[in-house]
Chains A and B, each alone.
Chain A
């Protein structure tokens, strides 16, 4: 893995955490998914979110990506409120323009890849830089080539995504997210939709990125070995609350909470 400036770095040292959830409430109708959730993530930190299905992990990432709106509370990114902006008399709900600006610092890789099937691999990777960052086409192309080499798909640059395997598509999606030079990378069960033999290729790429950059990562995964290798901290969720948190050695090696133990047993039995 190259150590160059190819990959985005962490946040400029603003002091304080890069991400702060401050009493965040999220409801879908009568269903309260997150109830006054507080947690912080530092710049350059890699945090893994684990927990049973339905515990709100995806919702947390989607809130950060502004794909969902908070019901209450505030999410701060780099000292800026994500879902709100400073208005007269305190914080007001953010408009679309403010959200687009904050969103540029955050990249997301989805479980189902969500590549644009009507575009080539190259167009998928250059679309964001050209049309939302205003990067020149030449520069975007060059960066796309470098990133596709990095994920081992340099020779597929002019292929259509539908011609690629799931593992290859997901690696393109990773390149697409990195092309935006995000400070924060959100990964939502990025290997769950893959055939088992394709999982390790994707995880290797992510390990490489984790080792060679100081990009902040929030990662939801059931791949416990991967989580142990790359993350600085693990958050165990249940029913929208943090049950337990700590370094991976402690959470996986010596979990304190019964809930964590049963969850890990269940996952390890199936994996």
Chain B
């Protein structure tokens, strides 16, 4: 099968609209993973509720994202769009990972920082908000960045629940014209075009926050 440039030109607009959906799902899912993961990391320190939550998160990490997507999509009440379900499941799934990242960041803050906060009689919200979390988050920025790229590369799974993202568009085009070569090549290319610069950026952040 030879490469058809004219066909390539025709399918680009549809693929770009798919890429927009992919990016939207990633951004929303990632924002949810960042916030929810932090909340989970904090609640995990609470007695009784913490271990329970930990078990739930362990369960989420131990089952495939694809299964979770299809499961929630099937059980969700009507009226919720596939896109909404898609980014919510992505966000919750990745929150199970970011929670661990935050936890390691919090544990990495030296005991002396807690002790100095205590010696100054700081209230809990200042100890957490002004001393511990700023230092904890700073040291895990690179690890969090890696999950952004990982999540981005997982978005094609949304295809399974009919979200009109990049992969969905490509296979739709393939199905209509019986040509997959151009569309799938472009999908790979688009992913590379976003992933590689992001990875470079994250390596830079890594170097910048390596100190302290």
| Interface positions of A (Cβ within 8 A of B) | 65-67, 100, 103-104, 106-108, 110, 112, 114-119, 127-128, 131-133, 162, 176-177, 180
Contact = CB atoms under 8 A, between A and B. Distances in A.
Interface string B110-137: 1011011011111100100011001100
A149 to B, nearest CB: 21
B116 A115 contact: yes
B172 interface: no
Contacts of A177: 119
Interface residues of B, number: 19
Given A107-B119, A114-B112, 4 more contacts: A65-B119, A110-B119, A114-B110, A132-B126
A63 B118 CA distance: 12
B44 interface: no
B115 A114 contact: yes
Closest 7 CB pairs of A and B: A128-B120, A114-B112, A114-B116, A132-B121, A108-B119, A118-B134, A131-B126
A115 B115 CA distance: 10
Interface string B149-178: 000000000000000000000000000000
Given A116-B131, A118-B135, A132 B122 contact: yes
A67 B118 contact: yes
Contacts of A133: 121
11 contacts: A65-B115, A65-B118, A67-B115, A100-B123, A103-B121, A116-B116, A118-B212, A119-B130, A127-B120, A127-B126, A162-B211
A112 B135 CA distance: 17
A117 B116 CA distance: 12
Contacts of A103: 118-119, 121
B138 interface: yes
